[in-house]
């Protein structure tokens, strides 16, 4: 009887090892990315303003929403296993202007004589500087500082092992 118990424990430990190397990291990364997407969307929808009006978001703070498009297009990539126990997953906005909002940029005319937003009737001259209004990094920083990211990913990891 002692041998059967030892064999059973050994088999369960092998099963947990496999889950810890493959299933649990993917579950943890997916849970963390879901939390990240929700946090970024909430951050982006906190302040709103109408098209054509000056943004109430000071440089260095997340952009104020006009249509909600930037938030709506926040996605997470599928989990990719790179090594046993290592999973890569990201979240970002696929809006064409997402990077400009996050990092800032100077936009200059290419073929036109002047930059304009025909929808709002705004004209900007030959270039316009858009200050950085980061939203991805602040979301990640707040999730790490609060411990919420660690809690959610740990819970998902343990649940995938059948220990949560």
How far apart (Å, rounded) are the C-alpha atoms in residues 88 and 80? 5
How far apart (Å, rounded) are the C-alpha atoms in residues 72 and 152? 23
Answer yes or no: are the C-beta atoms of 31 and 156 closer than 8 Å.
Answer: yes
Q: What is the pLDDT along the chain (164 residues), one digit of tens a residue?
A: 556 888 888 888 888 887 777 888 999 999 999 999 999 999 999 999 998 888 888 888 999 999 999 999 999 999 998 888 889 999 899 999 999 999 999 999 998 899 988 888 888 899 999 999 999 999 999 999 999 999 999 999 999 988 87
How far apart (Å, rounded) are the C-alpha atoms in residues 89 and 97? 22
Cα dist from 12 to 9, 103, 132, 157, whole Å: 5, 48, 51, 17
Residue in 164, 150, 162 with CA at minimum distance from that of residue 13: 162
Q: Which residue has the tokens 């920083």?
A: 141
pLDDT computed for residue 23 by the predictor? 87
pLDDT computed for residue 155 by the predictor? 97
pLDDT computed for residue 2 by the predictor? 58
pLDDT computed for residue 121 by the predictor? 85
pLDDT computed for residue 124 by the predictor? 87
């Amino acid at each position: 009887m002692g041998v059967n118990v030892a064999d059973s424990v050994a088999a369960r430990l092998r099963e947990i090892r496999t889950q810890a190397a493959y299933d649990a990291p993917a579950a943890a990364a997916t849970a963390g990315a879901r939390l990240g997407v929700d946090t970024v969307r909430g951050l982006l929808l906190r302040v709103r303003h109408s098209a054509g009006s000056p943004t109430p978001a000071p440089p260095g703070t997340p952009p104020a929403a006009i249509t909600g498009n930037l938030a709506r297009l926040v996605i997470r990539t599928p989990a990719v296993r790179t090594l046993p126990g290592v999973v890569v997953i990201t979240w970002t906005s696929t809006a064409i202007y997402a990077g400009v909002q996050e990092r800032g940029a100077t936009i200059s005319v290419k073929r036109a004589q002047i930059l304009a937003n025909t929808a709002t009737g705004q004209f900007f001259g030959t270039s316009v500087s858009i200050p950085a209004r980061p939203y991805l990094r602040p979301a990640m920083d707040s999730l790490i500082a609060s411990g919420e990211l660690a809690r959610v990913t740990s819970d998902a990891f343990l649940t995938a092992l059948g220990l949560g």
